[in-house]
Amino acid sequence: MATSLRTSALPVRCTQTGLLRNFVLLIAVLAAGRSLAGEDAMPPEDPEGRKEAVAAETREQEVYVGGDDDILRALEQAAALEREENWPEAAALYRSIIEKHLDHIASTMVSASADRTRGELYITAAEQSRRRLLAFPADARAALEARHGQAAQAAVDQALANRDAAALHDAALRFAGTDAALAALDALGDIRFERGDAASAAQAWEELLQALPAGSGRRAPATVKLAHARSALGDAAGARALIDAIPLRTEVTLGGRRIAADTLADSLLGPPPPAAVDEWLAIAGNAACNAFPGRVFDVGRRL
């Protein structure tokens, strides 16, 4: 306070200069304080945190693992075992991935949030594991059948007894690479179609055809079913393309009905129904009246 009083006794010119200098210093101090406060508020360097954020959207060859480093490492290890042709160990790893994801992954496809603006989709780790099991060579598939075929058939039989579509889907995924898993996909398509869900039925039969070997006798019946579903969905061109690729003598039973490939082909290739002609055009006396020879129109009824 004494300093303040002495300062006020100085000449006016000096006081104004001092005030200006003090004002500038005050602004500088306040700015420095705000800068320090901002630095204190900023989070410290956290490379592990950034790593986790990146891992949350990790994709490996179009496979979404949701930041699960264990799943990513398991996929990489299984791929290495495949290259070494160690099929039993690779199969065990793939099946462990499927088991881990079976209860909480409803779809085979997911959208990575970082790429949603571009609409990019990635398959789940469980779906990737299923596809890799299906890609095993014939001898490795035979080993899978020997080891898991009995348990797979029991699971499929139980699901069929209960008409449980979800259980069939799980069995097809859990026991991928076995004959029972193929039967599960076929039955899953049947149940979905009978329940009026042609789109989901078509998906099941498409997965079945992808899993079946080229020379399998199951391919033609599955193709007829898929063509029938495509026809029901209004995709006549897609249905025709499927039918053209199989023998026309192929027959299947679907929804209690017998469906033959040749009959389905005829229905798809038949001429379109004639376009309806409005009776008012005929009454008007123009050329459309030629479509109604000898027909009497009741104008009062139309009005």
Other Cβ atoms less than 10 A from the Cβ of 287: the count is 9
Q: Do the strands 109-111 and 121-124 form a parallel or antiparallel pair, or are they unpaired?
A: antiparallel
Only one residue has tokens 């398991």, namely: 74
Could you state, in order of their start, the residue ranges of all structural domains in the chain?
58-136, 274-303
159-188 pLDDT tens trace: 999 999 999 999 998 999 999 999 999 999
> What is residue 255's predicted lDDT score, i.e. its pLDDT?
82
81-104 pLDDT tens trace: 999 999 999 999 999 999 887 754
Quote the percentage of the chain above a pLDDT of 90.
Answer: 44
Residue 292 has pLDDT above 70, yes or no: no
CB of 202 closer than 8 Å to CB of 222: no
Task: Specify the higher pLDDT residue, 153 or 272.
Answer: 153
Sign of the Cα pseudo-torsion (58, 64, 69, 74, in order): negative
> What is residue 103's predicted lDDT score, i.e. its pLDDT?
57
Q: How far apart are CA 112 and CA 278, in angstroms?
A: 53
Tell me the average pLDDT of the chain. 74
What tokens does 4 get? Answer: 């303040």
> What is residue 267's predicted lDDT score, i.e. its pLDDT?
84
Task: Specify the higher pLDDT residue, 240 or 119.
Answer: 240
Range from 16-25, 34-43, 81-90, 277-286 that averages highest in pLDDT: 81-90
